[in-house]
Chains A and B, each alone.
Chain A
Amino acid sequence: NAGVTQTPKFQVLKTGQSMTLQCAQDMNHNSMYWYRQDPGMGLRLIYYSASEGTTDKGEVPNGYNVSRLNKREFSLRLESAAPSQTSVYFCASSMVSGANVLTFGAGSRLTVL
């Protein structure tokens, strides 16, 4: 009963490097989300995908791209990492496009030097 699986759990990058965070869910959910969590700022939405084949920007999309590869998988790419992108990233999914009850992955801690 995996739920939402994120990889990698930890990553250290140098400024300017690129990387992709992977997310997969096995609950047959339609909607998927990427959030970042910074101290004192709660969770902020980066991008979301209401259904397979669609993606939309959230509150803080700059510097990121996403791909909804299929119904199960939603990846987040940093093309040229910056220290301001040091954060904990959470992938989440929900059954319907009304967000409501999200199921979160365990998080990916990214440090950009």
Chain B
Amino acid sequence: EDKVVQSPLSLVVHEGDTVTLNCSYEVTNFRSLLWYKQEKKAPTFLFMLTSSGIEKKSGRLSSILDKKELFSILNITATQTGDSAIYLCAVESGEYGNKLVFGAGTILRVKS
């Protein structure tokens, strides 16, 4: 059974801090790993990773994948209150064909 585990489950930091969110997975026929940000409503896409060791970066957010150790991290530097959200990790695997398996998410709260 495919499994995606995120840690920590929740996190409270102060503005300006750097945070690292973790995602580990056990899936058959790995295709890609995706990160989403969910504020009040719909999840919105952040990154898609398919190759090990290649960092994806967007502003203060960056992510990297390790396919040997089966995990990914999402880094957020110089956090702002607007970064407060649930961060979801999802893995696309061959077992389910064209579907994503999501982790439970990390709830990040950034205090001013």
Contact = CB atoms under 8 A, between A and B. Distances in A.
Interface residues of A, number: 27
Contact of A43 (B9, B48, B88): B88
A48 to B, nearest CB: 6
B92 A100 contact: yes
Nearest to A9: B41
Contacts of A33: 99
A45 B42 CA distance: 15
B73 interface: no
Contacts of B42: 4, 90, 104-107
Given A104-B43, A106-B41, A107-B41, A99 B105 contact: no
Interface in B38-79: 41-45, 48
Contacts of B9: 40
Interface in A16-65: 31, 33, 35, 40-45, 48, 50, 56, 58-59
B13 interface: no
Nearest to B89: A42
A4 B102 CA distance: 20
A98 B97 CA distance: 8
Interface of B: 4, 6, 9, 31-32, 34, 41-45, 48, 88, 90, 92, 96-105
